[in-house]
Amino acid sequence: MRSSKRVQIGLLRPFLFFILTVGWEPDMTSPVIGLTTYRGKSEHGSPTVALAQDYVVALTAAGGAPVLIPSDMEKMACASIIQHLDGILFSGGGDIAVQRFNGEPHPKVADVDQERDEAELELLNLALQYKKPFLGICRGIQLINVGTGGTLYTDIRDQVPGALEHDFSVGFPRNHPAHSLKVNPGTRLAKILGSTSMMVNSLHHQGVKEIGSGVEPVAFAPDGLVEALEIRDHPFAIGVQWHPECLSDLEPMRMLFRSFVEAAGRQA
């Protein structure tokens, strides 16, 4: 679920975060968007804070100023950082620990990072508390669901009878149109995308199962699997199961990032 093209910053103290300069010219009016990250290693084996560059490109194109948030942030540091952010993007990555949602153990559960789970769930709680706009992508939508008391299928292929194939992360380009989806009319997401039907990519083996409290499912794959969530009465709280940052040639996906950044700008 990770691109070979990554932004990496090594040897960070847990409480630091850095403004990226990939294709971005400083603008004091740009909303500051925090991006969650994962732990990686450089070619020399040094620990890094890493993220696929597509997220950065999509946010900067939409007018945002992205910053990386290390995955091992402690609660006090999360509380400090949230005050300096106008929005948060919960990125894709490894699976959430099954203990977080009383999930069914499965041999395909992989790349679990308990510290990342802890930090991102804390950031989600703070974003809800302070009404900070946020967008969840792939793992991000699953985090939103778990963080609001929902559960996940720990492997769609084994646990959802008649499910489509949802994991095209190996052997396909990341923008591969894997399946269609339907967006509920009248929802915020439908208004943003300008359509209730489209093709999307699919790079996940887990998915939303029982819906969290206060969260509304608003888009579905042909097999019924939830593809998007919204939280009403919030400036911007949307999670999508696909990877819109890899579909930047499509106007609806650009509009998703643009709407997110604009919502964050109203917090600045």
CATH number for domain 6-265, candidates 3.10.290.20, 3.10.105.10, 3.40.50.880, 3.30.70.3450: 3.40.50.880
pLDDT digits (tens, 9 = 90+) for 139-169: 999 999 999 999 999 999 999 999 999 999 9
DSSP state of 245: G
Residue in 166, 204, 243, 246 annotated catalytic: 243
pLDDT digits (tens, 9 = 90+) for 213-263: 999 999 999 999 999 999 999 999 999 999 999 999 999 999 999 999 999
Residue in 78, 118, 122, 138 annotated catalytic: 138
Q: How many of the other CB atoms lie within 10 Å of CB of 228?
A: 27
Tell me, yes or no, if 78 is annotated catalytic. Answer: no
Mean pLDDT over residues 188-200, rounded?
98
Distance CA 184, CA 133 (A): 21
Question: What Rg do the C-alpha atoms of the chain give, in angstroms?
Answer: 17
Query: Would you kindly state where each structural domain of the chain is located, as residue ranges?
Result: 6-265
Tell me, yes or no, if 138 is annotated catalytic. Answer: yes
Q: How many of the other CB atoms lie within 10 Å of CB of 161?
A: 6
What pLDDT is recorded for position 14?
A: 39
Tell me, yes or no, if 25 is annotated catalytic. Answer: no
pLDDT digits (tens, 9 = 90+) for 226-235: 999 999 999 9
Residue in 118, 120, 227, 245 annotated catalytic: 245
Q: What is the maximum alpha-carbon separation in the chain?
A: 51
Percent share of the chain, pLDDT over 90 = 87
